[in-house]
Amino acid sequence: MARIPEVSAREELPEADRHIWDEISASRGQVQGPFKVLLHSPEFAQRAAHLGAYVRFESGDHLPPRIRELAVLSTARMLDCGYEYSAHHQMASKVGISEEEVAAITARQPAGLGEDRWVYDFAEQVIVRHRVADDVFDAAQTRLGLRGVVELTASIGYYCLLAAALNTFGVEPTEPA
């Protein structure tokens, strides 16, 4: 049960902010998860959703979906964010992430990611160590280029933001993560 009430209907927002519900719904098909609590600050929710739309739907030219989802799952696991982990676990197979790779992230055993271990290591160093070692940075830049590394770093940060909101406000997945 969420710690604060979720904004679950457009009509719960002031008339002047209802367009934000519509924008979020249009970009994602519905308003769910973190946005149901972030909408207590409509402008913030709008700005977060706008950034998230870029991260999820528009950055594919520089950050391949498989790499993004490995980073999201790693971030969610490191921050023990059940909602985020569950939501992205469902997306994993659609971008070529195997159940064995998901299990490796779940168990915090990045060796199980094979040649893509660098993604987990990159996320872990950003989140836990607060600095990325040269060898891990170089591995990411070799695979993604400089723009891709910027987008990977920003994506990890974006999902840290969502995990902070989800965990703080007690938003849990409808199915176990």
Write out pLDDT tens, residues 62-72: 899 999 999 99
Same domain, 24 and 109: no
pLDDT of residue 56: 85
Same domain, 81 and 39: no
Same domain, 79 and 136: yes
Residue-range definition of the domain harbouring residue 83: 65-168
Q: Are 149 and 141 in contact (CB under 8 A)?
A: yes
Mean pLDDT of 143-148: 96
pLDDT of residue 175: 66
Q: Is the pLDDT of residue 177 over 70?
A: no
Same domain, 80 and 95: yes
Q: Is the pLDDT of residue 11 over 70?
A: yes
Q: Which of 86, 79, 105, 92 is nearest to 164 (CA)?
A: 79
Average pLDDT of the chain is 94
Mean pLDDT of 7-28: 96
Same domain, 26 and 71: no
Phi-psi region of 165 (alpha: psi -120 to 50; beta: other; left: phi over 0): alpha
